[in-house]
Structure 1
Amino acid sequence: MQFGVLGPLEVRTATGEPVVVGGPRPRALLVLLLLNAGRTVGLEQLIAGQYDDDPPAGAANAVQVQVSRLRKAVPGIEFTGAGYRLAVDPGDVDALRFERLARDGHRSLAAGDHARAAATLREALGLWRGPALPDLPHGAAMATRLDDLRLDATEDLVEAELALPEGTDVAELRRLTKEHPLRERLRGHLMRALHAGGRPAEALAEFEDVRRLLADDLGTDPSPELAAVHLAILRADQAPARRGPAAQLTSFVGRGAELARLASLRDTRLVTILGPGGIGKTRLAVESAREDACFADLSPVDDPDTVPHAVLAALGVREAGLQAPATDPTRRLAAALGREELRLILDNCEHVVAAVAALARTLLAECPGLRIVATSREPLGLTGETLVPLAPLDDAVRLFADRAAAVRPGWTVTPDNLATVTDLCARLDGLPLAIELAAARLRQFTVDELAARLAEHGPFRLLSRGDRTAAARHRTLRAVVAWSWDLLSAEEQTVARRFSVFTGAVPLAAAEAVCGTTDDVLADLVDRSLIDTDGTRYRMLETIRLFCAERLAESGEPVRARHAAHYLDLALRADPHLRRAEQLEWLAELSVAHDNLMAALRWAVRQDRVTALRLVAALAAYWWLSGRRSQAGEAAAALLTEEVPEGLEEEYVSCVVHAVPRAAPEHWARAHQIMRPRDGELRYPFTAALFGMAVGPWGPPADAEPLLGTDPWNVALGRLGNGLRAVLGGRTAEGEQELREVLAAFRGLGERWGTAQALDWLAEVAGWRGEWGRAHELWAEALELYERLGALEECVDVLCRRAGCAVRQATLDAAAADYRRAAVLSARAGRPDPPAVRLGLAEVARLRGHPDEARALLGTASATEGDLGAEVTRARIRTALGRLAEAGGDPAEARRQHREAVDAARASPMRAELAGAVEGLAGTALPADPERAALLLGAAVALRGTALTGDPDVARVAATASDLLGPDAFAAAYARGAAMPPDRALTTLDGG
């Protein structure tokens, strides 16, 4: 609640609704409690405040009755045994808040910070609505005390205003001196104000008037202080001393490089510290100043013509104190400075930048000893000006810790909260003001709560409280940005709000196209520190972008549609180049634009389904090649409805594929129907690759050639699918030859993804046959190509296959290293803990003799329904569990697991994977039926199209069966199984 006693008693709720407190005695009682908010007021004091020196009998009971009535309107009145206490914050009572502000203003005045003092004292005096404590009939002493404090604060305010360029109100001063004719300090202020206004005769007359009053009424002379003002006027020496930078209340953190640069520029005539609001320009200028510096704050100047007057005031120059007859203030400044060696700090120049530039040009030309340091949000634009642009603070975390410890003693950055603090500072763009405002909120929140609220509500709502004595434009983050916004022209504001649709840095062409502007306007916004550039790309700090985005929402301009159309055009232009030798350059271009592409997609999903569908299809190759395909899943799933827009069938199929595993069966059925042969080539050839990989095994459907057309990349893609189907379908020799030719085709195009695909599977076949050196050479080249593309998920696949080969080579350390690296890359790609990695590490653990570790890893490996190759994953898990059961001496469990592995693998079209499950099943035939074991091992060769060389489990089963049967019988049974056609080999699984 809010309470007012500086005038008639006023009580309001937190939402501003008035609360009626009836009866004069309850009102008087409430006033007494409010003047002691949070402290206990004794019963005797309450009675005295009600009845003065003549309380009636039963006054104590009467007070208790009044308290009971009062509690109905004002909660929080507590009885403590020694009296009553109103549990409210003293800051909610205007009289107590006035006293605190008056003290703060007096301290600022004593420190020489006249602007802060004036702002604070105006706020304090603005709380008065009338005479103090009119509802406390016996509170004359307390009312008199408050009136005296009010008068003291008024005198302090006048003194502060006299030191500022705008001065004070002489008429108001005359009124005050008439009300308080013997207040010598007020009279001195009036004399100084009259003299500063060019009315010295009236100032001297005021002194004579007060001298007569003091002699007649009190029989005394004016005080030494008033006499000194009189003498200074007589000597035309009333001007205050030259103003230096104000003493700072907080430590200075960071900016070591910038301080060193300013030190190196000590003798440079004009230096401008440049940057957006709140980045610390003023503080850096103050910290770099020496004893010879004069500080002129131009923020209160609202008329460009008065800039020279503000500098005159900072220098302590008054017209009467100069011999030069010139009346032009710039000429007076030049005359006053002459050849003096001086460093002049002109702070906050951006709103009067043209006037400051004109003044600086004249003074620098006529005053050879003058050096100017300006702080501004845009350059002065003078020849010879040296700019010191400020970037976001590097030591943002240290600044946060320093300011946080000031409001919450003992708080420090720890390993547990470092990541949160770092992220919070990054969200605030490293702006010192924003970080200080955020740190101050630790009085209310923990750092985790602060970060959560920042993410939920944004910076402007959270950082809405600042130093109440600061200039209004520096009290909140919104005010800082609004100050810059208000200085823009209408055209600049239009471009700035349109630019807010961008996320991250964008090239000039994008900014011009989406914002409908030219590089000249963008250059103006760069000069005004609303936009930053590295010479090729443009960006906004996030805090500024959010402010401009609010202005865009208010305008209702359809800029987001233009933004989405621009990035759709970029995606469509890039798509064919991603299948050519120039794919790295275009991948880099799209990667730089990634955040904007995704922002365009998110908006289009909500507002423009056609654009969203086209974006998904056009970006499919980019997402796949750069390892980002999982990022499109949610958006793609949201676009799947019962209706397939006419002419956007391919786009729909692309959404189905990207939505795995979210896509429902009916969407897959429509996708299959769309992908059947039809007239015309695919507009998005990569859609066929994605669809083929989704429906398996890998590559486009066997009948997709008419869709792929005659484009060389499309043809190579079709042949890649044919080769993979042959390899994984048991026709290894045929598939290997096809892959060799595919490799040559992709190499000829200079296309890296298809080249790496062919290399990877050629390496896999070489590894099956035990051609270790060739396999690792091919995998090394494939990895290098995928890494250059940034295709993390493909890198994971290659590493897992290479690790499996290393297991067969018995180089378990190398295998484990590849599996661990694959886990790291998969997590970076947004797919943590891939089953293949856990399966592989479980195999390594089992072969090292650590069955418990292997079993634990298998327990966390699972196949997600709808994932590509889910049946294969389930089969591999069962095979691994079966081999653990064999090692543990449980043949029945081993048979069950291997049988289930075979059943799972038979659900997949990949016979090479079925071969692995069959090899596991072969071990369960021992020792009872070694001939069947040999036959199953041979059947696995028939299914895969080649023997699996080096596998320790296959070698163990083969050796045992050979020992039991004899070498010749084993060889005959093995050859009989290997000679079977693949379909015939399948019947051996059922005992045929």
Structure 2
Amino acid sequence: MVRVQIGMLGPLEIRLDDGGSIEVPGTRLRALLIALALEPGRAIPKATLVDWIWGEQPPSDAANALQALVSRLRRVLPDGSLDVQAGGYRLTVRSDAVDAVRFEQLLDQARGGADAQQAELLREALELWRGALMQDIGVQDSAAADAVITRLEGLRLAATEDLYEAEIRLGRGAELVAELTELVARHPVRERLVAALMRALVAAGRGAEALVVYQRAREALADTLGVDPAPELSALHVALLRGEIGAQDNERKTNLRAELTSFVGKNGDIAAVRELIAAHRLTTVTGPGGSGKTRLALETARTLLDDLPDGAWLVELASVGAGGDVAQSAIAALGLRDALLGAAPNAEPMDRLIAALRERETLLILDNCEHVIDAAAAFAHRLLGECQRLRILVTSREPLGITGEALWQVVPLALPAEDADPGEIESSSAVQLLRDRAGAVHKDLAADARTLSTMARVCRALDGIPLAIELAAARLRTMSLDQLANRLDDRFRLLTGGSRTAIPQHRTLRAVVDWSWELLTDAERMVLRRLSVFSGGASLAAAEQVCADTGGPEGQGDGKSTAVERWEVLELLTALTEKSLLLYVADSAPPVGSPGEPRYRMLDTIKQYARERLVASGESDLVRREHLSYVTELAATAEPHLRRADQLEWLATLEAEHDNIAVAMRGALAAGDAAGA
């Protein structure tokens, strides 16, 4: 049997045992491969393959057309991969080397097992899915392909339901609320998912919300299918109304969940945030996406539980829409019943919450506020004004911007220096995190000098961003450390294996940055993508020249026109800095007699994303020319000063722009602009 791995539960992926990969060109060639791979080791009749590839419109000479495709596929695959059999063709790979086949094998093994074993097998099966099934086949009117897609998608959904039910029986329901809420929103008439969400909410002490979920499901079933809930779901609803399940523990002081991984590299931050909370009633933890704001807030809150008579409560806002009610989310998080709210049940949610918290000494954690920043600011301002013993800890990519707010900026994990020795590399927090998370999926990872050096290279490429490092560690399930390090130039395609229980914007590296990008104005997007042309950062003057646009077409990326005047650039740079997409770096060692000039920089991950957006916008050539013009003018201005008393200041200026000068020169040469170079 040929030693290859074929993945079709997502984009088609063919990996060799030596770590290499194979690209299969053309939709029909991919369709042929998938049709054969669905039944590895078995001869597939030619008529079946023709139906798969051409559907209702086969060519006039289908047999010869199929034979030509088989010949092409044989040239692409390793030798011996395809056999000719009587009346058909056979793919000679192991059955478990095809992810779709392996998926069904795991489902069969899970049936009838104990809950723990069933959950483990189902989780392994569902983790094989990397995206939409067979998304890059492109066949038209193929009933055979449609039938397979429908069957496998149905099995996936049923396996998901089986997994949640097993996890809830194991007592893990409270941990699944966020994920089940999202799934029920996508599949509102899947009654097993609805029941699972209701049980998970009950396990989290949120029985009132479970009743709301049932009511919404009943309405969806009536509107969509014209039916009532099944007896099983109705029985669960009645049991909840009677108080037969989910009796609430009134002594519960928190809804913070136990973490499954260790907390690495930010213990000093916990102490700092504790001090801010002690001195200020509103503290906001800011930082770029994936930098660990939520984890820092939760770890800090756990250390404070013994000092808070009324506990600490997490209000998760990531799933709240732009017009969502923050107060209602807080009521749900605290699990407050109407009888305990001290106000009429028909009162506004904010009034009910104030009545409940007015005399309580508690900490409220508002998590992921950036998309509802105005609503969160208004909520915090009013609640703190009326509940004098309350403290609020916020996580957001930008501050709330209200009086009395204390800020703590979360920075990426410490990285080892380029010339660090193995001991220094091993002690850096970024490498410690990578080793910790990699150890969960790669038990025999070495700790020699070469391995540590490669780990340092991975962490530097990922800017020390904790989420990016965790996504990279997850990739070590299926590739070596060297392969990972060598492929990080394409990090947004590579780092896609996030936790299934994470919020959607934290499941892939691209989703992390997409979330920030979608929250920007058109003008902020223009400035951010144009800044990606700089290397080593940009001064304010440089940014003003390159990023301003007085109304030319914004490009194909957004399909709009945006005018950004030169005087507006500073305001936009400030906004991007506050939103954790730019770093504002002061000159730490300016020449004697010079004040030094601060610069705006991007993390490499943000820069790569912004550069992709720049290319998509169609502005690349325009921005390159503006960048070249800035560098050329700077050099011409500096030249006479290099022989004057202010020589040191100008040499320092040119040194700061060294990388930009080199980038401009290479860009000009690549564009055939010899004069500019």
Q: TM-score range by the shorter chain?
A: 0.5 to 0.7
* Larger RCO (CA under 8 A, 6+ residues apart): 2
> How far apart are 1:100 and its partner, in Å?
9.9
User: Equivalent of 1:265, from 270, 276, 296?
Assistant: 276
Q: Aligned equivalents of 1:151 and 1:165: distance in 2?
A: 13
Q: Which moved more, 1:286-295 or 1:565-574?
A: 286-295
Q: Does the 8 Å contact 1:195/1:233 carry over to 2? A: no
Change (3 A) 1:73 1:365: farther
Matched, 1:458 2:496: no
Matched, 1:86 2:99: no
Matched, 1:284 2:316: no
Larger Rg over CA atoms: 1
Change (3 A) 1:507 1:98: farther
Deviations 1:109-154 (A, max 9, x none): x9xxxxxx9xx89x899989xxxxxx99xxxxxxx99998676457
Match of 2:557?
none
AA partner of residue 298 (structure 2): V
Task: Summarize the alignment of residues 519-668 of structure 1 with structure 2, pairs less than 5 Å apart.
Answer: 519-534=570-585, 536-557=598-619, 558-607=622-671, 609-613=673-677
Q: Aligned equivalents of 2:405 and 2:576: distance in 1?
A: 19
Q: Does the 8 Å contact 1:401/1:412 carry over to 2? A: no
> How far apart are 1:354 and its partner, in Å?
0.9
Task: Summarize the alignment of residues 238-253 of structure 1 with structure 2, pairs less than 5 Å apart.
Answer: 244-253=255-264
Match of 1:906?
none
Q: Does the 8 Å contact 2:431/2:459 carry over to 1? A: yes
Matched, 1:310 2:361: no
Q: Aligned equivalents of 2:642 and 2:34: distance in 1?
A: 76
Q: Does the 8 Å contact 1:530/1:540 carry over to 2? A: yes
Deviations 1:404-428 (A, max 9, x none): 2222213244323333332332221
> How far apart are 1:446 and its partner, in Å?
3.6
AA partner of residue 570 (structure 2): D
> How far apart are 1:301 and its partner, in Å?
1.2
> How far apart are 1:334 and its partner, in Å?
1.3
Q: Does the 8 Å contact 2:184/2:194 carry over to 1? A: no
Deviations 1:12-48 (A, max 9, x none): x97773359999xx899899xxxxxxxxxxxxxxxxx
Change (3 A) 1:337 1:20: same
Change (3 A) 1:472 1:97: farther
Matched, 1:95 2:104: yes
Task: Summarize the alignment of residues 696-845 of structure 1 with structure 2, pairs less than 5 Å apart.
Answer: none
Matched, 1:341 2:361: yes
Matched, 1:471 2:503: yes
Q: Aligned equivalents of 2:641 and 2:33: distance in 1?
A: 75
Q: Aligned equivalents of 2:194 and 2:452: distance in 1?
A: 59
Change (3 A) 1:286 1:588: same
> What SS does the aligned partner of 1:288 have?
helix
Q: Aligned equivalents of 2:274 and 2:625: distance in 1?
A: 49
AA partner of residue 315 (structure 1): L
AA partner of residue 543 (structure 1): T
Q: Aligned equivalents of 1:538 and 1:170: distance in 2?
A: 41
Match of 1:274?
286
Task: Summarize the alignment of residues 75-224 of structure 1 with structure 2, pairs less than 5 Å apart.
Answer: 75-76=91-92, 86-89=95-98, 93-96=102-105, 152-153=162-163, 168=184, 176=191, 195-196=211-212
Q: Aligned equivalents of 2:182 and 2:470: distance in 1?
A: 30
Change (3 A) 1:580 1:307: same
> How far apart are 1:556 and its partner, in Å?
1.7
Deviations 1:534-557 (A, max 9, x none): 352211111101101111111122
Q: Aligned equivalents of 1:410 and 1:281: distance in 2?
A: 31
Q: Does the 8 Å contact 1:242/1:316 carry over to 2? A: no
Match of 1:382?
402
Change (3 A) 1:260 1:171: closer
> How far apart are 1:492 and its partner, in Å?
0.6
Change (3 A) 1:447 1:354: same
Q: Does the 8 Å contact 1:343/1:371 carry over to 2? A: yes
Q: Does the 8 Å contact 2:638/2:650 carry over to 1? A: yes
Match of 1:373?
393
> How far apart are 1:306 and its partner, in Å?
2.5
> How far apart are 1:573 and its partner, in Å?
0.9
> How far apart are 1:240 and its partner, in Å?
13
Matched, 1:499 2:522: no
TM-score, normalised relative to structure 1:
0.46
Task: Summarize the alignment of residues 935-974 of structure 1 with structure 2, pairs less than 5 Å apart.
Answer: none
Identity %: 39
Q: Does the 8 Å contact 1:279/1:433 carry over to 2? A: yes
Q: Aligned equivalents of 1:195 and 1:493: distance in 2?
A: 42
Match of 1:442?
476
Equivalent pairs, count: 522
> How far apart are 1:584 and its partner, in Å?
1.3
Q: Aligned equivalents of 2:322 and 2:665: distance in 1?
A: 47
Change (3 A) 1:235 1:485: closer
> How far apart are 1:486 and its partner, in Å?
0.7
Q: Aligned equivalents of 2:241 and 2:608: distance in 1?
A: 55
> What SS does the aligned partner of 1:346 have?
strand
Q: Does the 8 Å contact 1:237/1:320 carry over to 2? A: no
> What SS does the aligned partner of 2:290 have?
coil
Q: Does the 8 Å contact 1:393/1:430 carry over to 2? A: yes
Q: Which moved more, 1:545-554 or 1:503-512?
A: 503-512
AA partner of residue 571 (structure 2): D
User: Equivalent of 2:413, from 393, 400, 415?
Assistant: 393
Match of 2:31?
18
Change (3 A) 1:510 1:315: same
User: Equivalent of 2:383, from 358, 363, 382?
Assistant: 363
Task: Summarize the alignment of residues 865-880 of structure 1 with structure 2, pairs less than 5 Å apart.
Answer: none
Q: Does the 8 Å contact 1:232/1:238 carry over to 2? A: no
Q: Aligned equivalents of 1:270 and 1:418: distance in 2?
A: 41
Change (3 A) 1:259 1:101: farther
Q: Aligned equivalents of 1:589 and 1:413: distance in 2?
A: 42
AA partner of residue 553 (structure 1): V
> What SS does the aligned partner of 1:434 have?
helix
Q: Aligned equivalents of 1:170 and 1:445: distance in 2?
A: 33
Q: Does the 8 Å contact 2:434/2:469 carry over to 1? A: yes
Q: Does the 8 Å contact 1:163/1:240 carry over to 2? A: no
AA partner of residue 561 (structure 1): R
> How far apart are 1:524 and its partner, in Å?
0.7
Q: Does the 8 Å contact 1:495/1:515 carry over to 2? A: yes
> How far apart are 1:576 and its partner, in Å?
1.2
Change (3 A) 1:397 1:70: farther
AA partner of residue 463 (structure 2): D
Q: Aligned equivalents of 1:263 and 1:180: distance in 2?
A: 39
Change (3 A) 1:98 1:276: farther
Change (3 A) 1:433 1:236: closer
Q: Aligned equivalents of 2:645 and 2:245: distance in 1?
A: 87
Matched, 1:232 2:248: no
Q: Name whichever structure is richer in helix by fraction.
A: 1
AA partner of residue 403 (structure 1): R
- Structure 1 unmatched ranges of 5 or more: 5-12, 32-66, 78-84, 111-116, 129-134, 137-143, 204-209, 215-221, 614-992
> How far apart are 1:99 and its partner, in Å?
8.0
Q: Aligned equivalents of 1:437 and 1:124: distance in 2?
A: 14
Deviations 1:249-305 (A, max 9, x none): 222111132122012223221111111111111111122122322112211112333
Change (3 A) 1:584 1:384: same
